[in-house]
Amino acid sequence: MLDMKFVRENPDIVKQNLKNKFQEDKLPLVDEVIELDAKSRAAKQEADELRSNRNKISKQIGALMAQGRKEEAEEIKKQVTANSERLAELEALESELSEKVLKIMMVIPNIIDPSVPIGKDDSENVEVTKYGDPVVPDFDIPYHTEIMERFDGIDLDAAGKVAGNGFYYLMGDIARLHSAVIAYARDFMIDRGFTYCVPPFMIRSNVVTGVMSFAEMDAMMYKIEGEDLYLIGTSEHSMIGKFIDTIVEEDSLPRTLTSYSPCFRKEKGAHGIEERGVYRIHQFEKQEMIVVCKPEDSPMWFDKLWQNTVDLFRSMDIPVRTLECCSGDLADLKVKSFDVEAWSPRQKKYFEVGSCSNLGDAQARRLKIRVNGKDGKYFAHTLNNTVVAPPRMLIAFLENNLNEDGSVNIPEVLRPYMGGKDKLIPKH
């Protein structure tokens, strides 16, 4: 969420940002919110004046009564009554206007970084760098569920009966590999100085609206019926929520946390949920990283975060690339975002396995996460990035480590988490 003062003083910048994000339908909101804000401030000013005068008039009434000037005192009392009625009107008006201003401000997107490429959607995202050499073996690579089925490692039919499309049972070596990747990612981030955390898997509505836009909330979140609780779509939600309504000491920054959680997503409007596989699903597990830092440090942390994911995948010999998300592909709260994509030898192309985002002070402003600095208080900057998210990541892992005989190589870094195995042998 933007600072209202910034919008008031820079309407043209806000409008150009909307055009850059191809959200021209929101342009009238800028003038509307400025007008509502002016009315709100005028109501507040008049109300403050009435409150200030109230004590003076009370003293004046007391003095007149002491002097026996009862009639004059009664006339002034009438003025007090009228002022009280007007004050009540102004307070109601101020509350109503403030609510309208907030509602609009919640849908006006954050100002994107000047370096962000302008484009309508993800088809116009820009490749930044490739890491590792993509290889296409001289044998056919089966669909990822076929590879898993050779190890008796997945049961989609049973999951469909139990929960419906978008769910799965992982079993045996594949389930163990799934857990090994998560455990390795956890230790990888701890070794990089991040504090490990297991957060709540449900959050209240005020946290939901603090960490994401209404459009994202509607497309992603599952609500618990009869409760003010939502299942998290990623641990970033509850991890950033951990700092809600807090004042953080400047010398304690940055706060760098890595968290494990299951993730639940409706995937409303998403394509591919009906496909037989684990690429787009309603439930998965993830290792995440978040940073709360000073504004001047957030660009540096942004580069560190996505590099962590690249380094993790390269440590398992999986080729990856980074893509910069264009303006039209950025969620409303984001200032800048990179996707990390892994190489798929079967498809002969890259596919997304993680996303790194700098949200500036948007989440901090919504959640009231402030920093107590030497020159006063200010809003922190927040960032997040996927460390790894199996089972989607398993697709890249299995395809890139598959041998012609159907066995799967285990990279050295994962062997301690797989009981020392260096290879998985299929059962079929």
Is 113 within the bounds of a domain? no
pLDDT per residue over 371-422, tens digit each? 999 999 999 999 999 999 998 899 999 999 999 999 999 999 999 999 999 9
Q: Could you tell me if 36 and 128 lie in one domain?
A: no
Q: Residue 401 has what pLDDT? A: 97
pLDDT per residue over 29-72, tens digit each? 999 999 999 999 999 998 888 887 776 776 666 666 667 777 77
Structural domain of residue 38, as residue ranges?
Answer: 4-105
Q: Could you tell me if 91 and 191 lie in one domain?
A: no
Q: Could you tell me if 137 and 80 lie in one domain?
A: no
Q: Could you tell me if 101 and 186 lie in one domain?
A: no
Q: Could you tell me if 323 and 358 lie in one domain?
A: yes
What is the C-alpha separation between 128 and 339, in angstroms, rounded?
A: 10
- Residue 375 sits in a domain whose CATH number is 3.30.930.10
Q: Could you tell me if 101 and 139 lie in one domain?
A: no
Q: Supply the pTM of this predicted model.
A: 0.90
Q: Residue 416 has what pLDDT? A: 98
Number of domains in the chain: 2
Q: Mean pLDDT, the chain, as a whole number? A: 93
Is 112 within the bounds of a domain? no
Query: What are the two backbone dihedrals, phi and then psi, of residue 203, each rounded to the nearest 5 degrees?
Result: -140, 155
What is the C-alpha separation between 288 and 268, in angstroms, rounded?
A: 22
Is 271 within the bounds of a domain? yes
Ramachandran class of 232: left when φ > 0, alpha when ψ lies in -120 to 50, beta otherwise: beta
Task: Judge whether residue 355 has pLDDT over 70.
Answer: yes
Is 111 within the bounds of a domain? no
Is 12 within the bounds of a domain? yes
Task: Quickly state the pLDDT bin for 83 (edges 50, 70, 90).
Answer: confident
Per-residue burial over 75-89, b if 16 or more Cβ lie within 10 Å, else e, is ebeeebeebeeebee
Judge if the upstream peptide bond of residue 199 is cis by omega within 30 degrees of 0: no
Is 110 within the bounds of a domain? no
Task: Judge whether residue 273 has pLDDT over 60.
Answer: no
Query: DSSP characters for 75-134?
Result: HHHHHHHHHHHHHHHHHHHHHHHHHHHHHHHTTSPPPPPTTSPP-SSGGG-EEEEEES--
